[in-house]
A and B are shown apart, each in its own frame.
Chain A
Amino acid sequence: MVLVGTPPSDTDGERGLLRRARTGDPAAFRVIFERHSPAVWRFLRDLLRDEAAADEATQETFVRAHSRLGALRDEDRVGSWLLGIARHVYLESRRTRGVHVDVADEEHAHQVEAVLPTPSPEDLLLDQELAGLLTEALGMLHAERRAALLLRIDHGLAYEEIASVMGWSLPKVKNEIHRARLRLREQLAAHVGGGRP
């Protein structure tokens, strides 16, 4: 790989970086990596629930992304494209490791909405204990449902982008995210609205 032109900076737009990376500019790909790898790693860690496995899967995601830079059509969606690759890496990793730890994500939608407390502003503070409980509650969700929810509330993807990443219809995306939210709230209800121990 050979450096081309002026070095890219963190403020360069995604399109420009992508074009430079496609010409073989490693500095441009480096900026893309440094910009997106924390989110990709976090997504993979939340799916795999294993930090070392997430390290490996993140590297694999970017190796694949590097070889497929030319395949990205929508240059404004580098983030969701990378998360889509990451999801495939996760699925392969799960198959390879033979891990299938999804819990029975039973539906209690009707009851949940009735008993959930209303959060207060004080609840916004995520202390160490609550952060642990949040991670645990996310882990209780079915993996695919968890992925969809995280793509929305953690990574800020639009519903259409999530549909593309997950290979789902738009109504399914909305439905799955809604169910995931209710399940998550059910898990955390005891720690919200003055209900903290």
Chain B
Amino acid sequence: MSTCRESELDALLAGELAPEDASRVRAHAEGCAACKHALAWQRLERGWMTQRARRELVRPALSFSALEARLAVAQKAPAPVRHARREGQWRHWGKMAMAAAAAVAFVGLSLPRGGAGVGVGVGVGTEEPWSRELIVATGVEACEDAAAALEARVGACLIASPVLALRAD
């Protein structure tokens, strides 16, 4: 042992060292006052802790029947962590639905209005209902079912859809 290490002395007392290491540490400790001193303290501490553990009284709370009762309750109780996760999932899906609704609304409101083909886009009168051709050309029809389903799910009209105006017709 080039330097005195208390952990090695400790391992020696605990019988954790390999035979050759144990011989080396023991030989060092015999000639080292500091290690002899540390070993004496370690023996004392171990002795005290052993006596202390032996004197512990049996605790009524350490009866297995008390634990069994608690285990039964724990097995019946729903896992709170799972609930938290589910709540988190629902919150997540709610946010996703809101984002989808906003996206649909954005597409619906930003689409150009007016006659098909010619003059579509900027400058077209905003009051005119969309034509069937424009809806087909811009792919809005494909969104109709999805938007309706989304509205049905949230129970509210999410967008002032031109498709609704066509339906009224």
Q: Which A residues contact B (CB, under 8 angstroms)?
A: 26, 30, 33-34, 37-39, 41-42, 51, 55-56, 58-59, 62-63, 66-67, 113, 116, 118-119, 123-126, 130-131, 134-135, 152-154, 156, 158-159, 174, 177-178, 181, 184-185, 192
Contact = CB atoms under 8 A, between A and B. Distances in A.
Contacts of A30: 64
Nearest to A33: B64
A39 B49 CA distance: 12
A128 B36 CA distance: 28
Nearest to A125: B51
Contacts of B14: 156
B71 interface: yes
Interface string B13-52: 0101000000000000000001011001111111111011
15 contacts: A38-B62, A55-B61, A63-B67, A113-B34, A119-B44, A126-B47, A130-B48, A131-B48, A131-B52, A153-B45, A154-B53, A158-B16, A177-B10, A178-B6, A192-B44
A177 B66 contact: no
| Complex A-B, nearest 5 residue pairs according to Cβ-Cβ distance, in ascending order | A55-B61, A126-B51, A174-B7, A119-B44, A124-B47
B70 interface: yes
A181 B6 contact: yes
A41 B62 contact: yes
A66 B46 contact: no
A94 B4 CA distance: 37
B70 A184 contact: no
Contacts, number: 93
Contact of A66 (B51, B53, B61, B71): B71
Contacts of A154: 49, 52-53
B104 to A, nearest CB: 45
Contacts of B51: 125-126, 131
Task: Output the residue of B51, B56, B61 with the most chain A CB within 10 A.
Answer: B61
Nearest to A66: B71
A175 B27 CA distance: 23
